[in-house]
A and B are shown apart, each in its own frame.
Chain A
Amino acid sequence: MRLLLHIWRQRNAQEKGRTIRYLAADVNPDMSFLEMLDVLNESLIAKGEEPVAFDHDCREGICGTCGFMINGVAHGPLRGTTLCQLHMRHFHDGEELYLEPWRARAFPVVRDLVVDRSAFDRLISAGGFISASTGSAPDGNAILVPKENAEQAMDAAACIGCGACVAMCPNASASLFMGAKISHLGLLPQGQPERLERVLAMVAQSNEERFGGCTNIGECEAVCPKQIKLDVIARMHRDFLRAGWRRRAF
């Protein structure tokens, strides 16, 4: 397989980037997308050029490190999959692909296809946690959780924080990410004490990070590699409204 790649090249956060054309020859259909880039990078290094920088870690689709846009779709054309688990057999010979980093004010480009996602870390430190004393593991079934809640919380907890939702959202909103964390913790007994405080703190932090506002378009849901549903955003709105009624400060 041969592919024509238009890759965003940008040396650092300050410099203006641009797309550069590369020809990827001898692409094996069984390679993952990142392996295809590894091969391209080897040829670039052999020619004495700078390799293309991209984020990656586990390459098993579970860590949330990789991700960029392929032809304007976060993580590429295969639904429910991260880039590292996207294989070249889903493309055809001679295809032209545009590779771009996530674009959002809150995710500044570090280099080429790598963006700084620490805004997500700050959202989590604002409220995406529970305060519990640490120690030995609690006894099993000491706190009972209804089956349905456990399942829904688990679905929300599947978020790997890759940032595809923000990248794909026409508003660059982090609502799916925040909603996932708020639903994950808000559905479980351990998340109750800080539930309303959590939503206010995370929403305020998201404002500070300059993430956009959700307008219920659903692009996030469509590209989420963990297939988290828009329901989590509705749950966040619900908690936010409940927190708004309360007179007591946190």
Chain B
Amino acid sequence: MSSVAVPSVRRAARFYEAPLGKKVVMAVTGMILFGYVVAHLAGNLQVYSADHQQINRYAAALHNPSVAVLLWGVRAMLLLAVALHIIAALQLWNLKRIARPIGYVKKDDVPAAYAARTMIWSGSIILAFVIFHILHLTAGTVLPLEELGPNRPNVRANLIGGFQHPAVAGFYILAMLLLCLHLHHGVWSMFQSVGVSHPRYTLWLKRFSAVSALAIAFANISIPVAVLAGWLTQ
């Protein structure tokens, strides 16, 4: 045995080369994206505030030019996390094809792990939704966006106006149901992938995963439902 130091580049390559390393990348980026989903939801729920300008003030605070560096920093980090998450996912998916070139004539799925087996599909549709969502509410290429002033988007009007289109609301609800499925497996899975597992606590991690996935989807879906039902108006 030698005790020569391994250069960090080689260590990183060795790390990522293994499927385990890719899983760790998926877990860490997944954790970042999960954090974002929770924060984004907390922001959105301000639309229910009795003060109709609450969500617009929040948006104006985020778009304030003095924090532009921070905003773009977070956006860059999220974009990087999404890119790494997708690259690792595609590589693992490809690995699956390589590892079993000839499939079974008949294959049964023993545990009811529907969410786990369809991560690539729920993820792809969520990605398509995220692109649409950004074009819709950030870039304004789908519907014209209203502004209260420079860097002060009228989020409340844009959100309610958007969800009054049943197709927009429908796609949003579908994406949130798939996000629920994705998180149901993903939240527990990211703990497992970084080695957090214990006979006593794994059950609670799985429960946390299920509850948080359902709560996030329910809270998000409530917004288009409230708009379509006419409870949330301009």
Contact = CB atoms under 8 A, between A and B. Distances in A.
Contacts of A231: 197-199, 202
Contacts of B110: 73, 168, 219, 222-223
A73 B101 CA distance: 18
B197 A240 contact: no
Interface string B75-112: 00000000000000000100110111111111111110
A241 B24 contact: yes
Contacts of B111: 217-219, 221-222
B116 A217 contact: yes
Interface stretch (B15-23, B156-164, B216-224): B15-23
B193 interface: yes
A83 interface: no
Contacts of A6: 105
A105 B99 contact: yes
A135 B108 CA distance: 48
**Chain A interface size, under 10 / 10 to 19 / 20 to 34 / 35 or more:** 35 or more
B19 A207 contact: yes
A104 B19 CA distance: 16
A250 B96 CA distance: 30
B185 interface: yes
B11 interface: yes
Interface in B175-204: 185, 188-189, 192-199, 202
B176 to A, nearest CB: 23
Contacts of A207: 17-19
**Chain B interface size, under 10 / 10 to 19 / 20 to 34 / 35 or more:** 35 or more
Contacts of B5: 247-249
Contacts of A237: 20, 23-24, 192-195
Given A73-B110, A217-B111, A212 B19 contact: yes
Contact of A98 (B98, B105, B192): B105
B119 interface: yes
A189 interface: no
A21 B78 CA distance: 55
A171 B99 contact: yes
A103 interface: yes
Contact of A214 (B23, B98, B188): B23
Given A72-B106, A244-B21, 12 more contacts: A72-B108, A105-B99, A200-B14, A207-B19, A212-B95, A212-B98, A213-B95, A213-B96, A217-B117, A218-B113, A235-B195, A240-B21
The 7 closest A-B pairs by CB, nearest first: A213-B19, A238-B195, A234-B197, A212-B99, A72-B108, A172-B99, A222-B110
23 contacts: A6-B105, A71-B106, A72-B104, A73-B110, A98-B105, A100-B105, A103-B102, A103-B103, A171-B92, A211-B99, A212-B19, A212-B99, A213-B20, A213-B22, A213-B92, A215-B189, A216-B189, A233-B197, A234-B197, A241-B24, A244-B11, A244-B14, A247-B11
Interface of B: 1-6, 8, 11, 14-15, 17-24, 92, 95-96, 98-111, 113, 116-117, 119, 185, 188-189, 192-199, 202
